[in-house]
Amino acid sequence: MKKIACIFFLTSLFVFVVSCETIEIQAPPSNLPISSDIKPTYTWLVENVFRKHCVYCHSGRPPYLLSYDSVQTVVTPKQPLTSRLYFMIATGRMPKGGKLNEQEKWAIYHWIKNGAKND
Ligand code: HEC
């Protein structure tokens, strides 16, 4: 019985330590080369990122990325590092089963940084 308690304790400790590991969210590198057709605006993101990589899932579940109001529920304007949208793509959790390139992540970061406007 003691042995079981001990195993249980060690397992809990391990799970606790692993879950405490902090996830660093970083801004895109400031020297990233950005081609001129990349625009950090909501319209550009809808056409080039959300429609291509996200809406085949997010038309059935929130955030509905084609709706500006819905996107507002996952961003804090001017605060990309604490915005859920940036967190999900910076940590690679979204797009689930896919991947965004560095320029697409840059555009999302800077759109939020510039105030996440309906532009
Ligand atoms: C294959 C399906 C799929 C794709 C593609 C996908 N998502 Fe998701 N998304 C999900 C699921 C499922 C969840 C629920 C949380 C989870 O399972 O991680 C989610 C959750 C989220 C959340 C968090 C919502 C909340 O309220 O916590 C955000 C933000 C998000 N996705 C953004 C995106 C973006 C941006 C893209 C495209 C770059 C994308 N997703 C592509 C399936 C997908």
Give the pLDDT confidence score for residue 20 in this predicted structure.
62
Q: Is 46 in the pocket of ligand 1 (CB under 6 A)?
A: no
Q: How many CA atoms lie within 13 A of 59 on its CB side?
A: 7
Collapsing DSSP to helix, strand or coil, 3 comes out as helix
Residues 6 or more apart from 100 whose CB is under 8 A from it? 49, 53, 89, 108
Q: Is 90 in the pocket of ligand 1 (CB under 6 A)?
A: no
Query: Ligand 1 test: best mutation among 57, 85, 93, most atoms within 8 Å of CB?
Result: 57
Per-residue pLDDT of the chain (119 residues; tens, 9 = 90+): 677 776 766 777 666 666 666 678 999 999 999 999 999 999 999 999 999 999 999 999 999 999 999 999 999 999 999 999 999 999 999 999 999 999 999 999 999 999 999 99
Give the pLDDT confidence score for residue 4 in this predicted structure.
72
